Amino acid sequence: MLGVYSVDNRAKWKLLMYISIGIMLSGCSMAKSPGELIESPQLHDGQNLKVKETLKQLLPSGIEYMTPEQAAIKRSIIIEDIHGDGKQEAFILYRNMKENQQVHLLVLQQKNQKWTKISDIETDYNNIHYFGLHDLDDDGVMEVTMGLGTSDFENEKQLIIYQWDKAGLKKLMKRSYHLLDIADYDGDKKIDVLLVDGKRRTSFTAELFRYENGALKSRSAVDLEAYSFHENMVSGTLNDGNKALFIDSTIGVHSMLTEIIAYDHGELVKVGEKNGGPQIKKYPLYSKDINEDGVTEVGEMYIPQGWEDALYEDIPFIEFYSTYSIDGTSKKITERFIDRVRRFYIEIPSEWHGRVTVKKVKNGIQLLSVSNQKPVFEVKWVKKGSSESSKAVLKETKDTIFYSDRKENETFPFNQFHLLENEF
């Protein structure tokens, strides 16, 4: 799809694309399976080592520690002082592989320098999607929130909220959801609960709640695209600092739509909806903080000049990432030509944004100036050990040398060439 490749590689690429399409049509997300997410607890300091010794005594053989699918840091043991009284609690997520493999939440409390078991809750679910400790009702005590499911392929999950009492954890409420984010969306320094729920081909709704008196009270809601498979979700930030939820969804066979949900003037809104917002992209491209500045960018793409009538699989799309503000205005952050087959990208300098097109050459590509069709950047590739000479080596891998036969352009230098490595 992207870049230059042989007929054999093109066939392989098509095969991979069809496999990916099959996965999308099945409704499976990009998330890892519970087995892939299971890891031993990372225990380093003295406090954690005491927890580890306690777990050896409390837990039977054959258990596996679990980490939530939706977690920035993969941890199966969470230690926190949820009361603010100087005494810590430990929350351990695991399942017993010798029994029914259902998710357990073991709770320990620190007493007299020792860890004491408070409760061991066995849920009715095999997968854990979310775990969080939040003071949802702003009373100084954290609630325990869990998002649970029965399989990797289900859309509907269950949000369960527990509250601490003298006997341990008490379940206060349970409700279904599809996507979940817990954060301060209205900027009042209090935690909100944002849930996406619904049924594909019928309706999807994003709804913002405030947790009060053991229940979720709706504040505002907005409709989402009903004919979408939600592939990727990012809890991020807009260019103006507003909190937002970025939802990347496949539409049809291979296209993708990004919907941005935020809170504006007392209601939940889809950012940019009135002026078109992020457009449907030709293939999946996920939202991310691509330059690691704390602001989330939305991936988009365009067809280079001269390729408008080409077959879809032949088009060398140019990708770009933009930030959005609450009023829907966007700002382009970066523009790139990417070859995912050979795993490299060329970052296009800002003065060349929208001003280059792509030309395929033997064992390489050139970026041409749209105004005069002259090359402003070139990359070629050759297997290591080849006798073919080159003027400038750009990068090397264990098998390939990337080079250029052209002189370096002052406004488009060679250091704009990068290997993909693990970035994409």
Distance from C-alpha of 276 to C-alpha of 271, rounded to nearest angstrom = 9
SS3 category, 217: strand
18/313 Cα distance (integer angstroms): 12
Radius of gyration of the chain (CA): 25
Residue 365, beta-bridge partner list: 360, 379
Query: Greatest CA separation found in the chain?
Result: 78
Burial 387-408 (b: 16+ CB within 10 A, else e): eeeeeeebeeeeebbbbbeeee
Helices (H), 7-141: 7-25, 34-37, 46-58
Q: What are phi and psi of 23, to 5 degrees?
A: -65, -45
Using CA atoms of 367, 368, 374, 379 in order, give the dihedral in degrees to the nearest 10: 10
Nearest C-alpha neighbor of 256 from the set 230, 235, 238: 230
d(CA 27, CA 229): 6
Q: Which residues pair with 248 in a beta bridge?
A: 232, 258
What is the pLDDT, as a whole number, of residue 388?
A: 64
pLDDT of residue 78: 93
Q: How many Å apart are CA 252 and CA 54, to the nearest integer? A: 51
Is the Cβ–Cβ distance between 323 and 331 less than 8 Å?
A: yes
Q: Provide the whole-model pTM.
A: 0.84
Would you state the pLDDT for residue 51? Answer: 86
> What confidence score (pLDDT) does residue 140 get?
92
- In the chain, DSSP finds a helix count (H) and a strand count (E) of 3, 27
pLDDT of residue 387: 62
Q: Which residue ranges in the chain fall short of pLDDT 70?
A: 1-48, 152-153, 387-390, 422-424
What's the gap between Cα 163 and its chain centre?
29
pLDDT at 147: 96
DSSP 288: B
For residue 297 the two structure tokens come to 């960018």
Q: Which two tokens stand for residue 189?
A: 């320094």
Residue 11 has a pLDDT of: 42
